[in-house]
């Protein structure tokens, strides 16, 4: 039986290897999405018109005990739908960055280790497998498993974070009552936040900084929610 290609064994679904380099600390894979188009997050229309590209750096599962880091050339697209409120959108890569700096499959592996072995023993096993994680980080995962998709968020925290400081920024959404990250949006825009809020009704209180982007995004997506701004 023929072996699967290298990219199929190393990469999450939907990515293709562009370049591979080896350093003392491990492997770095430069990858690009295989799909030639993406769907707008607001209206669902498909687009092939690329606006720009940016790089997302995330850790992935090790390969034969060697640490692996992905550098993914993600894209922004023009939305061609005339009725859509969004002119430009980022393609979603859910398997590539479930959180800011780790792939979904790496997060699942770390959670499984934490639930089976706990902190100290789990950290030792992870180190043998090529995963560098502290006992405290493993215990935090065991105490706070991923939030179920159908859980309603009542008090939402909204803030920005950097994929790459000074270059690419996204939006982090946090359930403040359960103290869990709910989602990461690949951009800082009022349209992206408003679209997410429409898909997840029930937010009663939304905390944010004094950015006009988030203020207007919450007003559009959850007009009934009380907005709380920090100083």
Considering the domain boundaries, does residue 98 fall inside one? no
Same domain, 62 and 137: no
H-helix or E-strand containing 28?
A: strand 26-33
| Mean pLDDT on 142-169 | 74
State pLDDT tens for residues 37-65. Answer: 998 877 888 999 999 998 888 888 888 88
Same domain, 126 and 194: no
Same domain, 10 and 88: yes
Query: Between residues 161 and 208, which one has the greater pLDDT?
Result: 208
- The residues near 11 (Cβ < 8 Å, ≥ 6 apart) are 17, 29, 31, 60, 70
Same domain, 40 and 87: yes
The answer to whether 80 and 49 have CB atoms below 8 angstroms apart is yes
Considering the domain boundaries, does residue 183 fall inside one? yes
User: Which band of pLDDT confidence, cut at 50, 70 and 90, is reported for residue 139?
Assistant: confident
Same domain, 13 and 79: yes
| DSSP string over 163-225 | EETTTEEEEEEEETTTTEEEEEESS--HHHHHHHHHHS----EEEE-S-HHHHHHHHHH-TTS
Classify strands 155-164 and 205-208 as parallel, antiparallel or unpaired. Answer: parallel
How many domains does the chain divide into?
3
Considering the domain boundaries, does residue 39 fall inside one? yes
Residue 199 belongs to domain spanning = 155-229
Same domain, 16 and 85: yes
Same domain, 204 and 187: yes
Same domain, 141 and 86: no
Question: In this structure, what CATH number is given to the domain that contains residue 172?
Answer: 3.30.420.10
Q: Please report the pLDDT score of residue 53 as a whole number.
A: 92
Closest among 231, 184, 195 to 79, alpha carbons compared: 195
Same domain, 129 and 109: yes
Same domain, 139 and 167: no
Considering the domain boundaries, does residue 7 fall inside one? yes
Same domain, 1 and 61: yes
Same domain, 1 and 73: yes
What pTM did the predictor assign?
A: 0.56
């Amino acid at each position: 039986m023929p072996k699967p290609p290298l990219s199929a064994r190393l990469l999450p679904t939907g990515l293709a290897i562009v370049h591979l380099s080896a350093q003392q600390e491990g492997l770095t894979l430069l990858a690009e999405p295989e799909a030639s188009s993406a769907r707008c997050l607001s209206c669902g229309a498909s687009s092939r018109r690329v606006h720009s590209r940016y790089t997302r750096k995330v850790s992935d599962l090790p390969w034969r005990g060697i640490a692996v880091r992905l550098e993914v050339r993600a894209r922004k697209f023009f939305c061609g739908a005339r009725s859509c409120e969004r002119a430009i959108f980022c393609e979603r890569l859910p398997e590539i960055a479930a959180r800011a700096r780790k792939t979904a499959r790496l997060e699942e592996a770390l959670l499984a280790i934490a639930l089976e072995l706990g902190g100290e023993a789990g950290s030792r096993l992870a180190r043998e497998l090529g995963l560098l994680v502290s006992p405290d980080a493993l215990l935090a995962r065991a105490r706070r498993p991923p939030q179920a998709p159908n859980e309603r968020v009542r008090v939402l925290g909204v803030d920005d974070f950097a994929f790459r400081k000074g270059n690419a920024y996204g939006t982090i959404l946090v359930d403040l009552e359960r103290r869990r990250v709910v989602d990461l949006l690949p951009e800082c825009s009022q349209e992206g936040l408003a679209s997410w809020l429409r898909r997840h009704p029930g937010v009663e209180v939304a905390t944010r900084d004094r950015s006009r982007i988030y203020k207007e995004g919450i007003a559009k997506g959850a007009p009934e929610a009380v907005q709380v701004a920090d100083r």
